[in-house]
Structure 1
């Protein structure tokens, strides 16, 4: 057979087969890579002050260290999802797991910012194989809609659980070891994945995949990277020929990519899926969820440690309530889906996120720990409520044979949201910080330059100065960083409100249609109907 799956054993409602014990065991294994990636994303934020002190990166290098992983991953997710449909999703998962472990070793012992950036790029390359492989394998294991919704809730809870564990594990490691230790935690998880996946997860692939179009692969990367680079430069330096030119090249190549997909018999992405409103809103919401969570983690970890002076372990514990809420609410969403429409749940979730960011606009330079706990809990509440249902909407809109491509689109939204969240809001934060940090009396020019580069640089410079002068520099730097955090929170609030309005408008349905509970339609049925409309 050209396609093998974890065979369901029990008939479900309406004759849809249900997954048996092996399917649920496979789910446990497939959650491990998601847990790992989430831990990896959160611990890096806590390591930023420490690696800044050790490697002394510039502000630009620091942003690249954080977001090059997301840029490369987002650029390759579509290709890897389509490749998994062709060569086998389990095989691709195994290859990526081995590569992720090797790149983690390189990152852990990187001696310079440049090598760490390269290692993070390799992590992105390997990581691009993991999440679409796991999600598309689930799509083919759990065919029953209710089982699939619960399975996705568990899968999504792995993402949230990793985010909860990351700050605690990272905080403990950073208090006892060097910053590179946060990358070494990837190795045991990858080892377990490599051993258990062949035992519990059957291979699955598209039985009639067609050929992989290399021109489409080149166009997808060529569109993603210049566009993201242009956005990053626009946020850092405003309008410039380089920024506008890069963005324009990315958009032009993106248009060429879409036109090519519409003409191909076997496209890299079936762009007609975007005609399905549930699919397109699900993708856009996933983008905004991760945009909000990752960008908030990027500056809140620095705020807690470098502005409020809280040690890494305690800073992680302060963020833990919100991350635990995200796990719990991913399961609550399964129950709510039986009573509320997808439209209502998404809008409620985005309202929580907007409220969290709005709270952060009031963060002080002293005594702001409780406000951060509440604000981050609101952000995580919104993310937990929505992510299970948006992923289910995306997967159920696509036929099973295209599960890898659909999952890749979903994960592209995740990773691009995280990368752009750090690139855009992180760059705005850096720009405001550098603008607001004026000269401080008695501080030498070289120390002032290092302080303007990053908040971590200001802490290091202050430690080398006489008491009052060092204190004045640190106070000024903390105030400038907090001002930047206020502005980025305002921008994020506006963006999230815009996403909520879009979801409310696009998911408006006739009264009879909107009454249907989430997760009960046959998988791929809506996609087939809307694709027929799109072709007309």
Structure 2
């Protein structure tokens, strides 16, 4: 371990938050730029899918490996190296001349982003050793990430309006250059005192298993159930099992799974996974409900969703503040109850325009609940890991979050589709495809009666998803109560 020339941990936190803001923007901004990129680069449907998805694939697939790399070579060093890589890849992506150039550079940016996030979270725990200050710092870091997600469409829209689509990638260059210059001066360095060699077979198994599972889930969401995603999922689970067994036999594993055997940590990981699953799964319903079921314009729908993003940003700072005045276990429990109440509102969405207010209130409660609880949950995982494994623990928690979101899209999407088809069949006599197909067919035929039936069937599916969300939150609350009981 080497000491950095740390002057003010708040300045260091601000520096760590800058890349997280950029990474969040980069996750969302491509959806705004994609139409212009497609018109210019003329990708095939498969290339277009990879242009959109490769960044998230690489973030999820390499995060565990990159967390382990940071523990071994030094977290500050890894942040500096990956900031440089991200800047170069961003500049190249901005001047791409073909779809595969975008795909390759976005893949490199995904790996760099996957390295920066767990290294930053691990350093936050070192910068703020006091648990209450550490949770507050986690909340501030999360706020920057959420702000990036919120403003990405606006920034992307403005830049594409006045410049060309490549300008959205150039956002990364100045931010990462600032990180390159300031990190050696503001951040402390830490690496495992007796860092072993990186086990490359473990890294390959980890990458392949996560990519296969996430790809299978995305295929199910995009194209429905077929033999291809099933085979991919089975192969991914098999490789994941081999990865876990290998970690248990190595003297210096890629990820220290023994952290899961520490009191309460496995339960916290399940809470992170399950809350991510229900949040990710219900997110696909918001836009369809407002735009298709309630026939609002995209702008009006976006304005109705703004309160939920504001609630999440406020809660991610309010939760840590409350944790300094009352026991954190109560803050987490209260936040999870708030989330459960939000899903209960989804389960009670009424017909007509009043449903808009119910859905928006549900979104505010669910996002506020997860925003307040997340800093505590992440700190629980990282603080229970040895300092030399903190980066690995942070990446493990983040990966559980990523897979939970992908799983939620499949599970909750399937539940909503089954209920939608059942309700539409009972009212019209037949139902083929998903609600997306139903809304498209009703719109193309200008059939007001069919549209009303599709809207009612979709709303029934949304209510069913809300009921499932409540059931999952009951399990989460039981896990949390079981986690808190020994401490009391």
In structure 2, what is the Cα distance between the partners aligned to 1:426 and 1:123?
29
1:347 to 313, 336, 342: 336
Cα distance 1:358–1:122, how it changes in 2: closer, same or farther (>3 A)? Answer: farther
Secondary structure class of the residue paired with 1:264: coil
- Within 5 Å, give how 1:63-212 maps onto structure 2: 64-108=50-94, 116-173=102-159, 176=162, 180-212=166-198
Q: In the TM superposition, what whole-angstrom CA distance separates every residue of 1:434-456 from its partner, at most 9, and x where no partner exists?
A: 99999xxxxxxxxxxxx98898x
Partner of 1:497: 471
- The aligned residue for residue 252 of structure 1 is 238
Q: Quickly say closer, same or farther: Cα 1:48–1:492, change in 2 above 3 A.
A: farther
Cα RMSD over matched residues? 4.3
Long gaps (5+) in structure 1: 8-19, 439-450, 463-467, 516-536
Shift of 1:118: 4.2
Residue matched to 1:222: 208
User: Is 1:383 matched with 2:370?
Assistant: yes
**Residues paired across the two proteins, number:** 476
Deviations 1:472-525 (A, max 9, x none): 2899799869966863674475256325414423641585x343xxxxxxxxxx
Are 2:319 and 1:321 aligned? no
* CA distance in structure 2 between the partners assigned to 1:379 and 1:32 by the alignment: 26
- What's the counterpart of residue 13 of structure 1? none
The answer to whether the Cα contact below 8 Å between 1:433 and 1:483 also exists between their aligned partners in 2 is yes
**Cα distance change, pair 58–377 in 1 and its aligned pair in 2 (3 A):** farther
Over 3 Å counting, the alpha-carbon distance change for 1:180 and 1:355 in structure 2 is: farther
CA distance in 2, matches of 1:435, 1:118: 43
Aligned to 2:395: 408
1:263 is paired with a residue of what secondary structure?
Answer: coil
User: Offset at 1:296?
Assistant: 5.2
Q: Could you list the runs of 5+ residues in structure 2 that have no partner in the other structure?
A: 426-434
> TM-score under structure 2 normalisation?
0.80
Report what 1:4 is aligned to. Answer: 2
Contact 1:5 1:141 in 2 (8 A): no
Is the contact made by 2:92 and 2:105 (CA closer than 8 Å) also made in structure 1?
A: yes
Please identify, of 389-398 and 473-482, the stretch whose mean Cα deviation from structure 2 is larger: 473-482
CA 1:133–1:144: 2 relative to 1, 3 Å: same
In structure 2, distance between residues paired with 1:121 and 1:398: 29
CA 1:44–1:492: 2 relative to 1, 3 Å: farther
Q: For residue 204 of structure 1, give the secondary structure of its aligned residue in structure 2.
A: coil
Contact 1:211 1:266 in 2 (8 A): yes
Return closer, same or farther for 1:193/1:81 CA change in 2, 3 Å cut-off.
same
Could you report, residue by residue, the CA deviation over 1:53-105 in whole angstroms, capped at 9, with x for unpaired residues?
A: 77787887666544432222111111000000111111211222223233334
Quick one: distance in 1 between partners of 2:31 and 2:356?
17
Give me the TM-score of the superposition, normalised by structure 1: 0.74
- Find the aligned partners of 1:105 and 1:437 in 2 and give their Cα distance: 49
Q: Deviations over 1:456-479 (max 9, x none)?
A: xx6xxx9xxxxx996728997998
Pair 1:484–1:50, CA change in 2 (3 A): farther
